[in-house]
């Protein structure tokens, strides 16, 4: 992979979010957007300066992903708060491609301090540079969340535009794209063991959309998914990651945690999946979500935590 040029980001403060329908309406004209000759992701930082952790919104998200009240604010929930800024950036007029068709490759989340309902947060989302990928161009949206000036949560969402070309071929920079695997460890990994079997209903994508505010049509219904080349609706990757973290989560709130997931094959709805995991350390789990036969991967990653 090769990092492409980056500029100092322009900061835009977002006091009021556009309605979801308006954000998705901005994505549709992008279908007819002609790719820029020298494609670059705009150097842009979007900021929501004062966002309250709403207990009702947390509860809706927790229920659809399987978290229990004892878990506190789910580790993956802050991604939901940042997602409107992600969509604003992907539909910005300076963004070189349509947001439709951008592939979510991987996602990392890190909780530095436990969060509580009612707290007020500052959310920042910043675009990283393009990185040459074997299937096109990849880039990362970095999310940073602060409470009273202290960094409490971070997320890195890695996206791919298939078949795209960047503006130049600068030297490689390992910092440009978060790794999609953890650092190399020569210790033999314990074998993964099947932990659970999940039946996923046809309305799962709609349920997750109501809880998360992410109404991507490929997740909502077979009819809308077919318009984008899928035979049926597919489960949202961030639901799959959230459901996995909920299943592996200790039965109490955590002091800190770190999780990473690489998205593999789509999960068609309705469907059945299986969860596999192993414990290479006391407070660490390697995991995979696979098909019912246990042979085809949908999600692969790691989950580490610290207890209070």
pLDDT tens, position by position, 156-170: 999 999 987 655 443
Q: Can you tell me whether residue 7 is helix, strand or coil?
A: coil
The ranges assigned to domains in the chain are 10-306
Residue 203 has pLDDT above 90, yes or no: yes
Instruction: List all residues 6 or more positions away from 19 whose beta carbon is below 8 Å from its beta carbon.
Output: none
The pLDDT, as a whole number, for residue 40 is 85
Q: Using 50, 70 and 90 to split pLDDT, how confident is the model at 20? A: confident
Averaged over 7-34, what is the pLDDT? 78
Q: Using 50, 70 and 90 to split pLDDT, how confident is the model at 183? A: very low
**pLDDT tens digits for range 77-122:** 999 999 999 999 999 988 988 888 899 999 999 999 999 999 999 9
Residue 204 has pLDDT above 90, yes or no: yes
Residue 107 to residue 85: CA distance in whole angstroms: 16
Contact predicate 64/207, CB 8 Å: yes
Contact predicate 101/28, CB 8 Å: no
Residue 56 has pLDDT above 80, yes or no: yes
Instruction: List all residues 6 or more positions away from 93 whose beta carbon is below 8 Å from its beta carbon.
Output: none
Contact predicate 234/269, CB 8 Å: yes
The pLDDT, as a whole number, for residue 182 is 41
Residue 24 has pLDDT above 90, yes or no: no
Structure tokens at 173: 């920079």
Going by C-alpha positions, the residue among 168, 221, 184 that lies closest to residue 3 is: 168
Averaged over 2-15, what is the pLDDT? 72
The pLDDT, as a whole number, for residue 179 is 46
**pLDDT tens digits for range 129-156:** 999 999 999 999 999 999 999 999 999 9
The pLDDT, as a whole number, for residue 33 is 55
Residue 32 has pLDDT above 70, yes or no: no
Instruction: List all residues 6 or more positions away from 62 whose beta carbon is below 8 Å from its beta carbon.
Output: 68, 69, 71, 74, 77, 246
Q: Using 50, 70 and 90 to split pLDDT, how confident is the model at 180? A: very low
Q: What is the mean pLDDT of the chain?
A: 89
Give whole-number Cα distances, 244 to 73, 209, 239, 286, 287, in Å. Answer: 15, 18, 8, 11, 8
C-alpha atoms less than 13 angstroms from C-alpha of 279 in its C-beta half-sphere: 8
Going by C-alpha positions, the residue among 260, 233, 225 that lies closest to residue 244 is: 260
For residues 132 and 173, which has the higher predicted lDDT (pLDDT)?
132
Structure tokens at 283: 């407070």
- Phi, psi for 211 (deg, rounded to 5): -80, -30
Residue 212 has pLDDT above 90, yes or no: yes
Q: Using 50, 70 and 90 to split pLDDT, how confident is the model at 224? A: very high
Residue 243 to residue 257: CA distance in whole angstroms: 16
Q: Using 50, 70 and 90 to split pLDDT, how confident is the model at 31? A: low
The pLDDT, as a whole number, for residue 222 is 96
CATH topology of domain 10-306: Thiol Ester Dehydrase; Chain A (3.10.129)
């Amino acid at each position: 992979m090769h990092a492409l040029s980056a500029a100092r980001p322009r900061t835009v403060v977002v006091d009021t979010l556009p309605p979801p329908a308006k954000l998705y309406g901005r994505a549709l004209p992008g279908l007819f957007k002609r790719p820029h000759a020298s494609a670059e992701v705009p150097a842009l930082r979007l900021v929501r300066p004062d966002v309250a952790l709403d207990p009702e919104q947390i509860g809706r998200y927790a229920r659809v992903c399987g978290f229990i009240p004892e878990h506190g604010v789910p580790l993956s929930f802050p991604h939901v708060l940042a997602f409107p800024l992600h969509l604003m950036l992907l539909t910005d007029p300076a963004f070189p491609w349509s947001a439709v068709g951008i592939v979510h490759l991987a996602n990392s989340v890190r909780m530095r301090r436990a969060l509580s309902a009612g707290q007020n947060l500052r959310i920042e989302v910043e675009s990283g540079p393009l990185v040459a990928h074997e299937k096109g161009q990849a880039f990362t949206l970095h999310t940073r969340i602060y409470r009273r000036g202290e960094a409490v949560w971070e997320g890195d969402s890695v996206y791919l535009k298939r078949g795209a070309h960047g503006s130049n071929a600068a030297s490689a920079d390992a910092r440009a794209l978060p790794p999609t695997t953890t650092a190399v460890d020569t210790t033999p990994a314990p074998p993964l063991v099947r932990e659970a079997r999940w039946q996923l209903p046809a309305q799962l994508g709609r349920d997750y959309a109501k809880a998360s505010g992410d109404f991507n049509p490929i997740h909502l219904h077979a009819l809308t998914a077919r318009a984008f080349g899928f035979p049926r609706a597919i489960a949202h990757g961030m639901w799959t990651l959230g459901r996995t973290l909920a299943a592996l989560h200790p039965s109490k709130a955590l002091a800190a945690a770190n999780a990473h997931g690489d998205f593999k094959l789509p999960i068609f709805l309705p469907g059945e999946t299986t969860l596999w995991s192993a414990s290479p350390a006391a407070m660490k789990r390697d995991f995979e979500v696979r098909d019912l036969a246990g042979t085809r991967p949908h999600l692969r990653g790691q989950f580490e935590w610290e207890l209070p």
